[in-house]
Copies of this chain bind each other. A is one copy, B any other.
């Protein structure tokens, strides 16, 4: 699956991923209204609204983008019905041949991580039948529990041609509280990065590993060091755009082959119609605004790296 992701990035010349993180206040009035008319102001109504919103964005951008990254929290907040919208979004994106990175940030001890893994990137056995529950292509994984928490994901990925991105240095302001703590003069995230590179050796694709890393765009000087520590690791870079990361800061995340990183934008793409630059599209044409924002993002990044 990492080979497919790399090949799509090359073909489209677009090292980007669209974060499908639909807050209800991003969803245009007409979509919400229709969903509530059909299902009421219920979890099902909310789930229908975000699903229709996502579908519009996928339809308007699928030929430009290699991948989408639905953030499961934005679905899980609407309970079971929200999880159904998540699943529909995953399936629909895959039907359009888009690589799906489930941003689930799971991580637990052995057998429990294995359960998350089969649920999201594997197959679960019921009686004598194997079933694929959520079926993303990649998921994000939290490393706090160490190898016990990560290896079960890698094992399941090996069996199913899937991959993971392990949190190394996150994009949020307080990420340094624990991640930047110095151990023998070097920050914790470097040790995590080294471990990611090591985990990655056990599941290599053609050029890059199936085990990737998450490193926020908001810390480019750290990105530079981590790029060196993890040369064969694809880096998923959140924090571009709305969180303050600039395209000119992204060069250190890439290798000299122009590969090795995929930059995420969520709000900046899916709620583009709310920004001044794209307001001309109007709320009704929110998906066209998203397409224009994708075109700008690809240009902005490829010209600056």
Contacts and interface: CB of A to CB of B under 8 A. Distances in A.
Interface of A: 21, 23-24, 32, 36, 41-43, 45-46, 71, 73-74, 76-80, 82-84, 87, 105-113, 115-116, 118-120, 124-129, 131, 133-134, 142-149, 167, 170-179, 181-184, 188, 191-192, 195
Contact of A174 (B71, B149, B183): B149
Given A73-B112, A181-B188, 4 more contacts: A32-B127, A43-B131, A145-B174, A148-B173
Contacts of A42: 126, 129, 131
A253 to B, nearest CB: 18
A125 B177 CA distance: 31
A171 B184 CA distance: 25
Contacts of A176: 146
A109 B78 contact: no
26 contacts: A21-B112, A24-B125, A32-B127, A36-B126, A36-B127, A42-B131, A46-B126, A71-B115, A73-B108, A73-B113, A77-B118, A79-B134, A80-B133, A82-B119, A83-B83, A105-B108, A107-B142, A143-B178, A144-B178, A145-B172, A146-B172, A146-B174, A146-B176, A178-B192, A181-B181, A181-B183
Contacts of A21: 112
A111 B82 CA distance: 17
Contacts of A182: 183-184
Contacts of A116: 73, 76-77
A126 B181 contact: no
Contact of A126 (B43, B113, B126): B43
Nearest to A168: B144
Contacts of A71: 108, 112, 115
A21 to B, nearest CB: 7
Contacts of A179: 144, 146
A177 B147 CA distance: 8
Contacts of A36: 126-127
Nearest to A238: B109
Given A42-B129, A170-B145, A79 B87 contact: yes
Contact of A172 (B23, B41, B87, B149): B149
By Cβ-Cβ distance, the 8 closest A-B pairs, closest first, are A79-B133, A146-B177, A146-B174, A41-B127, A77-B119, A41-B129, A109-B172, A73-B115
A192 B177 CA distance: 9
A111 to B, nearest CB: 7
Contact of A119 (B79, B142, B143): B79
A107 B149 CA distance: 15
Given A106-B105, A142-B142, A111 B178 contact: no
Contacts of A144: 142-144, 167, 170, 178-179
